[in-house]
Structure 1
Amino acid sequence: MIKTGGLADVVGALPAALEPLGWHTRVLLPAYPGLFDQLAAAGTKVRRVWHTDDLFGGPAAVRRGVHNGLDLMLLDAPHLFDRPGGPYTVDGHDHGDNHVRFAALSWVGARLAIEGTADRWRPDVVHVHDWQAGLVPSYLKYAGSLIPTVMTVHNIAFQGVFGPDQLDRLKLPTWDFHSDALEYHGLVSTLKAGMLHASRVTTVSPSYAEELATPEFGFGMEGLATMRLDRGEMTGILNGIDTDAWDPATDPAVVPYSATEPAGKAANRAALLEEFHLTDHGGPLAVVVTRLTYQKGIDLLCEAVPGFVAAGGTIAVLGSGDPGYEYALGDLAGRYPDQVGVWIGYDEAKSHRMYAGGDIVVVPSRFEPCGLTQLYGQRYGAVPVVAATGGLRDTVTDATPDALADGTATGFSFGDARLGGAVDAGGLGFALGRATDLYRDTDAWAGLRSAAMTTDVDWGTSAARYAELFTGLVS
């Protein structure tokens, strides 16, 4: 199937968690190249449930099939989605018509809600995610529909902007192009439209909801976020993870182990050192699985690595992104060949092996709406070292002496702005030093790792909050 970061993990896992709570979900996605072939190979049958002769320049159909328990509706529009490259980019550049492609996805989502499908299905609530589906609430509003909508903001930094000259083409009213509606600094933002027109707005952690109302994190939309917060129309609901897919006791990619039977952790650690051609120098083995971008604090990581390896640590990195960061990490691997290993790219099975083998997982993000990496790390006993921002703050309890004593500590954090801290290389280095010191206390480390592994990271609590929100909108 198709996967792009944490949003894909959420859309793939939340529907299953909602099902026992009485909410059945259909997921509308573009039919990217190869998806129908994958479904056919898996024996999944699809049937057409909606079509149009002209969807922003070409014919389109929606085809439905149930795959691995996920009820999928795929938007088959070859003129928009059957092309080389990734979902959003080709050769490192955005597709020039992304605004048209995802407006089309939003238009179809709205039409399905209004018209229903050929198999007599209509949603009670429409739940949209990020800028790619941000125009669904707007299309419903302009059509006079009263179907309630929920807009989830996963990352406000990605805003889906385009010029006002495209409004007519995308079936949006030019008369609503002003600062209180579609206009955003002279452009149109699909994310702003969704945040403005949705019945309710959610973010992926309570702290991130509060951060969006500040100039530092609001990316120009802090006024809108403040308004919706003040009205009680925006809230933060933490993401969870699929604990069946992420379970070290049953994961086929690793030597099995658990919090109560942790022996296999050592075997995975040894295998990971060998896979990255690293040598144990007596300190913790850190792993980093991330996009290599400024947001993710990769420059801070590069600055902190020399001190960490000097204290006996080793580090394995999996990711891709900014060429400058790829080069800087490669340079560190060249300087410390038996303590720093770097794999440019992404490999799902390798990421599982890294969490299973790592002693710590490092997440030094400057901002992080929720983050799933630290949750995977906790599940696999790779103790998180995180910046105290957004969902990282909400999911990791710092290993203070009191928290260690009462068994509530689940990791290490630094840079909490509420305490006057800053997310910088010095703070990261100090947190890594604290982790290294505690790692040498075998019993204390085992207790911290066990607490991390037994932390509730599944969708149970969060799905219940979504179900309550949806029920309130239709009752």
Structure 2
Amino acid sequence: MRVMHVGSEVFPFSRSGGLGDVLGALPAEQARLLTGLGNTGADDEVSVISPWYASLSGTPTELWRGRLPELGADAGDVTVGELRQDGVRYLFIGLREFHRPGLYHPDDVWRYSLFGRAVMPVLKLLNAVPDVLHGHDWQAGLALAHAHLAGIRTVFSIHNLAYQGKWNMAEASRWTGLPGWAFGADGLEFHGDLNHMKAGLIFADHVTTVSPTYALEITTPQYGEGLEGLLIRLNREGRLSGIINGLDQERWNPRTDPDIPAFGDLAGKEAARAVLRAEFGLDDAPILATVSRLADQKGIDLLIEAMGDLVPHWNIVVLGGGDPLLTAALTGWSQHPRVAFAQGLNEALAHRIYAGADAFAMPSRFEPCGLSQMISMRYGTLPVVRETGGLVDTVPQDVGFRFADATPEALAAACHEARQAFDDRADWESRVERAMSLDFSWDGPAAQYLALYRRLGEG
């Protein structure tokens, strides 16, 4: 079986968030499973294809350079490079539209339209056409559409339905290379726009989301982002399912983590807590932390509004960047002796926070899967989460603390419950021990995806 993943980012070469983490871990685990099953021949390969960004970490070996007629006369030269790591072949498509700092830009619908059109011609040039093409999020929607039309079995994974890659139909339809019949209401059209997320949904043989609860939520108007009708149909046809994400067990391992005083038990965690207290000058109250994008989805505004109720009982540490209004509010609160705010992305600091905090707040309005709650539990930090999406599927009630309503009052009440549990050392320590024993490895999810690919091949 030859499997090709398509995505806009892949750790450690390019990453802005959870999608990059998934594309960095899932293919490697699938390759390991195939090897373990004795499938080591040339016909068994797991690959990833992604844009060759100017900021790409690593230097791919150039395999091909030239013009692709499928992209039109004005596209310029295309470069294709390769890296191999952990049994996975990584292919990178270099287009001039990606020769900029960073990953994402305002004209991304145009950029990923070009990338999506280039995927199949590149794979044919390299004799690398897969048995199954697995596209991830809207940036892969067009690539998946072309693969489906070429007769390749396809899986499309929704990592976040809120981002759909929409653009004016009259303009964007010229960028796709798709036949005219694809642009009606039963195709890519969505309220007058062309919708790349819908392209993935329409052309996939099977659609997955990154947790079973989110798969149910997106068939409702509250979470369906206007596509719930299509998703209800896919669910009714048996073509929609949820497979929970895993966690990179090597990158997130408190026993071997180079960024913290490594630990594997309750006694060792105290050293990590001491490091975090010293770094931010915190007192001896327990530490409630979050590492997050500062965005409406993540409910950080709820945390800010609840701050007055929380600081009498908790030290609060926040790491993240994004919305300037949320950033300003957190900067203001950081003047309080029990509140620390570090702006931006800082991988090493994130590890120290996960390890040193006592509780971890995730008041998300919606959360397709979430990795932070899994990381925090692996590091013995108990999550306080809203009951939505993957947070429901991964946070047992005898480990973490869950609340239903997206309000600062509900968040504060759950944090107070956690604070009471913290004062009952026997209760708290038993929760921490259960948290650290949970299995969030990629073994199970990777095997589920491989089984799905095989079912599609048998259908």
SS at match of 2:249: coil
Match of 2:142 in 1: 135
Deviation, 1:356, is 0.5
Q: 1:47 aligns with which of 39, 44, 62?
A: 62
Match of 2:131 in 1: 124
CA deviation map 1:48-81 (0-9, x unaligned)? 157534545211021112145542101111x210
Match of 1:271 in 2: 275
Partners of 1:131 and 1:194 within 8 A in 2: yes
Match of 1:301 in 2: 303
**Is residue 413 of structure 1 aligned with residue 402 of structure 2?**
yes
Match of 1:148 in 2: 153
Deviation, 1:135, is 0.9
* CA 250–101 in structure 1, closer or farther in 2 if over 3 Å, else same: same
- For normalisation by structure 1, the TM-score amounts to 0.88
Counterpart CA distance in 1 for 2:66 and 2:133 is 20
SS at match of 1:215: coil
* CA 50–28 in structure 1, closer or farther in 2 if over 3 Å, else same: farther
Match of 1:12 in 2: 24
Deviation, 1:20, is 3.0
Counterpart CA distance in 1 for 2:175 and 2:162 is 25
CA deviation map 1:397-419 (0-9, x unaligned)? 12xxxxxxxxxx2211000xxxx
Q: 2:48 aligns with which of 14, 27, 35?
A: 27
Partner AA of 1:4 in structure 2: S
Partners of 2:205 and 2:239 within 8 A in 1: yes
Counterpart CA distance in 2 for 1:131 and 1:369 is 15
Counterpart CA distance in 2 for 1:343 and 1:321 is 12
Counterpart CA distance in 2 for 1:331 and 1:233 is 48
SS at match of 1:168: helix
CA deviation map 1:317-375 (0-9, x unaligned)? 000111110111112122x2x21000010111110110010111110000000000000
Partner AA of 2:67 in structure 1: T
Partner AA of 2:436 in structure 1: M
Partners of 2:212 and 2:242 within 8 A in 1: yes
Counterpart CA distance in 2 for 1:34 and 1:310 is 44
Partners of 2:266 and 2:429 within 8 A in 1: no
Counterpart CA distance in 1 for 2:352 and 2:326 is 23
Partner AA of 2:360 in structure 1: V
**Is residue 435 of structure 1 aligned with residue 418 of structure 2?**
yes
Counterpart CA distance in 2 for 1:448 and 1:160 is 41
RMSD value, Cα: 1.6
Partners of 1:204 and 1:369 within 8 A in 2: yes
Counterpart CA distance in 1 for 2:200 and 2:66 is 25
Deviation, 1:158, is 0.1
Count of aligned positions: 433
CA deviation map 1:291-336 (0-9, x unaligned)? 011110011101112211112x1011000111110111112122x2
What are structure 2's unaligned runs of at least 5 residues?
1-12, 35-43
Partners of 1:12 and 1:70 within 8 A in 2: no
Match of 1:404 in 2: none
Higher mean C-alpha deviation, range 297-306 or range 61-70: 61-70
CA deviation map 1:29-66 (0-9, x unaligned)? 1111143xx434xxxx6131575345452110211121
Counterpart CA distance in 2 for 1:51 and 1:264 is 56
SS at match of 2:48: strand
Partners of 2:114 and 2:175 within 8 A in 1: no
**Is residue 87 of structure 1 aligned with residue 103 of structure 2?**
yes
Counterpart CA distance in 2 for 1:53 and 1:193 is 22
Partner AA of 1:395 in structure 2: T
* CA 135–413 in structure 1, closer or farther in 2 if over 3 Å, else same: same
Match of 2:39 in 1: none
Counterpart CA distance in 2 for 1:238 and 1:301 is 26
What are structure 1's unaligned runs of at least 5 residues?
399-408, 416-421
Q: 2:427 aligns with which of 435, 444, 456?
A: 444
Deviation, 1:276, is 1.8
Deviation, 1:168, is 2.0
Partners of 2:120 and 2:129 within 8 A in 1: no
**Is residue 65 of structure 1 aligned with residue 83 of structure 2?**
yes
**Is residue 455 of structure 1 aligned with residue 457 of structure 2?**
no
- For normalisation by structure 2, the TM-score amounts to 0.91
Match of 1:403 in 2: none
Could you list the runs of 4 or more consecutive aligned residues of structure 1 that deviate by over 3 angstroms after TM superposition?
53-56, 67-70
